[in-house]
């Protein structure tokens, strides 16, 4: 009988064969002290890249979804197939450069109160500044926060493990028993805000979220939606409203919704129009509209 691995690493491939291969090879080049299985979910790529990956890496578990089921849906397919004690969601545009996954696993199991953990994340390209060293608290009304250390040179100033408000979706490790208690990632978002919602649910169950800097992941940033593309703007707008509706109550809920609808989004639409970015402005409008349509179609969102 095969022993359960310490970690199930899950990564999603969406028309990103080259980057997925680079991630797999970075893992192969840096053997880990903890046992792991690697699961790649091909999330509706135009060509069947799972078939190509299966031929090249027979040791990897490949799951093919015929359609793109989103970030959360793809990860959930991997979670359902995973056998590890912990689940490590890892973007395919990241690189492993050291034998340091053990530190994430150690931190995760250092206390029964810890439910999930993220590593230090640095940009993969020179000068390799920090992208994530924890998050500041989320504003109750504006739903804004910021990544600690963002774009700063790494001089050891963020080398202390600490509890954090939210984890980074590019690299987060979660205990299996936490997922069994909280549930898999919410699929209503499709793209963006799903990891924030999941972290909120984990915290509500009494678990802590931690940042562990002894493990460092290098991130090439997402290319699937493009930097500040209309698609990204649409989902960020719609899903910020969805997150608010799902996770705020009473007066805070309505103040936050009104702030987004009457202040933040109109301001951003005006800025985009002034700069000739009509597609961005339309994406914000469509995101607001589709939030209401989704809310009316489904009682429980």
Residue-wise pLDDT for 27-65, tens only, equals: 999 999 999 999 999 999 998 899 999 999 999 999 999
The per-residue pLDDT for 159 is 98
The per-residue pLDDT for 223 is 46
The per-residue pLDDT for 283 is 98
Query: Which of helix, strand or coil describes residue 255?
Result: helix
Least confident of 78-92, 220-234, 279-293: 220-234
- Are 122 and 215 spatial neighbours (Cβ–Cβ below 8 Å)? no
**Does pLDDT of 108 surpass 90?**
yes
For range 99-105, the mean pLDDT: 97
Higher pLDDT, 297 or 112: 112
Find, among 56, 52, 54, the residue nearest to 39 by Cα: 54
The per-residue pLDDT for 43 is 97
**Does pLDDT of 69 surpass 90?**
yes
For range 66-95, the mean pLDDT: 98
Give 111's Cβ-side CA count (13 Å radius).
12
The per-residue pLDDT for 20 is 98
Residue 224: band (very low, low, confident or very high) from pLDDT cuts 50, 70, 90: very low
Region of residue 124 (left: phi > 0; alpha: psi -120 to 50; beta: else): alpha
What are the beta bridge partners of residue 88?
A: 9, 173
The per-residue pLDDT for 2 is 66
Q: What is the mean pLDDT of the chain?
A: 95
**Contact residues for 299 (Cβ-Cβ < 8 A; gap 6+):** none
For range 116-134, the mean pLDDT: 96
CATH fold of the domain at 7-219: Spore Coat Polysaccharide Biosynthesis Protein SpsA; Chain A (3.90.550)
Q: Which residue has the tokens 């022993």?
A: 3
**Does pLDDT of 183 surpass 90?**
yes
For range 257-279, the mean pLDDT: 97
Give the C-alpha distances (Å, rounded to integers) separating 147 from 40, 101, 138, 266, 273: 27, 21, 11, 25, 28
Give the C-alpha distances (Å, rounded to integers) separating 177 from 7, 58, 71, 109, 130: 13, 29, 21, 12, 31
What's the rounded Cα separation, in Å, for the pair 240 and 16? 27
Chain-centroid distance of CA 86 in Å reads 16
Q: Which residues of 262-276 are buried (b: 16+ CB within 10 A; e: fewer)?
A: eebbeebbeebeeee
The per-residue pLDDT for 298 is 62
Higher pLDDT, 212 or 297: 212
- Residues 252-258: contacts with CB within 8 Å, 24+ apart? 252/140, 252/141, 255/141, 256/140, 256/141, 256/142, 256/143
**Does pLDDT of 1 surpass 60?**
no
């Amino acid at each position: 009988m095969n022993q359960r691995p310490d970690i199930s690493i899950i990564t999603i491939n969406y028309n990103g064969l080259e980057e997925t291969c680079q991630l797999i090879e970075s893992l192969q080049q840096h053997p880990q002290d903890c046992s792991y299985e690697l699961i790649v979910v091909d999330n509706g790529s135009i060509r069947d890249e799972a078939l190509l990956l299966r031929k090249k890496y027979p040791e990897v578990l490949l799951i093919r979804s015929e359609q793109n089921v989103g970030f959360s849906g793809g990860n959930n397919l991997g979670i359902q197939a995973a056998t590890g004690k912990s689940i490590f969601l890892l973007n395919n545009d990241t690189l492993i450069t050291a034998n340091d996954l053990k530190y994430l696993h150690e931190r995760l199991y250092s206390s029964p109160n810890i439910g999930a953990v993220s590593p230090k994340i640095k940009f993969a390209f020179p000068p390799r500044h920090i992208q994530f060293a924890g998050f500041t608290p989320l504003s109750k009304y504006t739903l804004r926060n910021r990544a600690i250390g963002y774009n700063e040179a790494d001089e050891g100033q963020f080398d202390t493990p600490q509890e954090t408000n939210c984890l980074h979706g590019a690299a987060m490790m979660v205990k299996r028993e936490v997922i069994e208690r909280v549930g898999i990632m919410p699929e209503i978002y499709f793209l963006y805000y799903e990891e924030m919602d999941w972290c909120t649910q984990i915290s509500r169950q009494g678990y802590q979220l931690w940042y562990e800097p002894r493990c460092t992941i290098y991130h090439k940033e997402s290319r699937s939606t493009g930097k500040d593309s209309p698609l990204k703007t649409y989902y960020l707008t719609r899903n910020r409203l969805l997150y608010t509706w799902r996770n705020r109550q009473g007066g805070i809920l309505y103040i936050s919704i009104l702030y987004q609808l009457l202040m933040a989004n109109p301001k951003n639409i005006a800025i985009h129009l002034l700069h000739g970015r009509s597609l961005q402005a339309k994406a914000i409008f469509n995101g607001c509209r589709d939030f209401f349509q989704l809310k009316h179609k489904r009682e429980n969102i």
